[in-house]
Structure 1
Amino acid sequence: MSATRNDDESSPSSVSPYKVGRTLNVQLGQAGPVTSATISRIFESNLSCTMAVKIDSSSLNGQSVLKLYDRRFASRMRQHGKATAWNPDVEHQYRQFVQSGNGPSFFKFIRETDDEDLRYDYLDDWNDAQREAYLQHFCIHFYRTETEVYRRLHLVQGIDIPRLFASLWIPAISSESAAAGKEFLSCPGLLVEFLHGFPLSDIADFADRET
């Protein structure tokens, strides 16, 4: 059994690519064009890495919010998955795991097993590559779930909730990654309208008390 992991070990890594002023290449849709997104603000990371960006597109003026379901730097998700802080060695182990053909069967096992059972019966005995696969599976799951929520609430987008501009992917960084499959090695995300307001944690201080 592997050593117990504490919260400090799963804190965001200093090697995160998400820093103010940095430009990311993002692919709009499953097979759409690749465009650039320049980061102007970083929000607290939890289940996704969230930031304000300026997209290089004539159809999008001003700032948008980019939510990336990136298992490497989503701190709350890594804590949930009992994972250490991401580092290149962990990534190398995971890529070897995927490129050896283990991804599909492992994802199938995760889908067919209750998450509480996974956390209490399996996670402590898994190696780093298997934990990364667990995190990647749930990144894809949360991305698809949020995309579906926006689809179902399309009539109130821009009224009661932000508008969804696009679903997107951070392209795979190598030909080997692309061959292994987008589901296992690429990073999905959402581009949504930037609405100035307050975090949900402060709702008691800002919400209309008559509603």
Structure 2
Amino acid sequence: MDRQENQCPYVVGNTIKLHLKTKDNEVLTDARIIKLFEPFTLSSVMVVRISCSDLTLEGDMVLKLFDRRFATQLRKDEKLRPWTSDIESNYHQFVLDGGASQFITELNNNGDIAQQGETWNSSQDEAYLHDHLSDLYEIEVRVYDTLRDMQVNDILQLLAFATIPGCSLAEMQPASQYIEGFPLTDIADHTPRECWQSICEEAIEILHRMGDHGILNEDVKTRSFIVKKDTRAESGYKVVMIDFALCNFRKDYADNVDWSEAKAIQDEEGAVGLIMQDRLEGGFVYRRSNRYKKPADYYK
């Protein structure tokens, strides 16, 4: 087996072909990888540079690929074999034979099968990953659609969808605007102390606005916020949130009580406020909003 066949193509300096699609047009173009956000977790995230006048897309954009082959952290968490070209060949045959669709149908309809993951073969592993990451992709796109009025200002702007020709990654992948900045986690290294309070409060306010739009984020982390310089902002800095694959939606809950309890238990704002208060050692004071209160029996 050629070792190169098993190497990840997502490397700085590599050029990949992308089929880009917007609501008005679509085109095949080259994209040069100029930055990676590693380690890859649920998705392979990178900055690519394109020049696509047909779509009026020029410059750098963030490409987020829900590529099961290189979802390194997910494969590790699920205790799955590292991807190889042999595994891919076997999986393709599994798809062609109809085994993959049958397996996923059974998996989605029978909870017992999900408990038997340790007995699955590599093709079943790949089918599971493909199905799982497809679900995450659909959630992320649904969040972007729900938060249309927050794009650009509070979250990244979704610019286009992309596929990689000839790749088993069949679904469209989100491509969004790229902003120069640093994670909220690192504001002590990049901003004056007097700005910390307002920056952290802005991150929490973004979560509140998402909640007002009926979004619950199960994966809020301080690194999910990018801080950039902005002379228009009072503090001189603007906060933008990223990563929405692990979200739930208000309409999926029975009623307002069920929704409010889920929001309170998840404690999204605490995931930012408590962490940053501890990290900044007095430079930020977290004031809980009490927008959502945990049910009384939660503490029993």
Does the CA contact (< 8 Å) of 1:83 and 1:131 recur in 2? yes
Distance in 1 separating the partners of 2:107 and 2:161: 24
Aligned match of 2:33 in 14, 39, 58? 39
CA distance in 1, matches of 2:46, 2:94: 30
Output one character per residue of 1:51-71: Cα deviation in whole Å (capped at 9) or x when no partner: 000123121232110000100
Alignment of 1:151-162 (within 5 A): 151-162=145-156
- Indicate which of 98, 102, 116 corresponds to 2:99: 102
Query: Can you give the 5+ residue segments of structure 1 that lack an aligned partner in the other structure?
Result: 1-12, 174-183
In 2, Cα distance between equivalents of 1:167 and 1:185 = 13
1-structure distance, mates of 2:106, 2:63:
30
User: SS of the residue aligned with 1:160?
Assistant: coil
Residue in 2 that maps onto 1:143: 137
Q: Normalising by the residue count of structure 2, what TM-score does the alignment of the two structures yield?
A: 0.56
SS of corresponding position for 2:33: strand
Instruction: Give the equivalent residue in structure 1 for 2:50.
Output: 55
For 2:49, the aligned partner's letter is: K
Q: Per-residue CA shift, 1:75-102, capped at 9, x if unaligned?
A: 1121233211111111111111001112
Structure 1 length normalisation: TM-score?
Answer: 0.78
1:24-79 residue CA offsets vs partner (Å, 9 max, x unmatched) = 11222499322221101111111100100012312123211000010001111212
Find 2:117's aligned residue among 97, 118, 123.
Answer: 123
2:178 to 171, 190, 194: 194
Alpha-carbon shift at residue 203 of structure 1 (Å):
6.2
**Cα pair 1:171 1:187 within 8 Å, conserved:** no
Change (3 A) 1:53 1:102: same
Following TM superposition, where does structure 1 have runs of at least 4 consecutive aligned residues deviating by more than 6 angstroms?
A: none
Highest RCO, 1 vs 2 (Cα 8 Å, sep ≥ 6): 1
Give the RMSD, CA atoms, in angstroms: 2.6
Q: Secondary structure at the match of 1:162?
A: coil
Counterpart of 2:174 in structure 1: which amino acid? L
Question: For the pair shown, which has the larger CA radius of gyration, 1 or 2?
Answer: 2
Aligned partner of residue 102 in structure 2, secondary structure: helix
Amino acid at match of 2:141: T
* Secondary structure class of the residue paired with 1:142: helix
Partners of 1:190 and 1:171 lie apart in 2 by 15
Distance apart, 1:14 and its partner CA: 6.5
Percent pairwise identity: 34
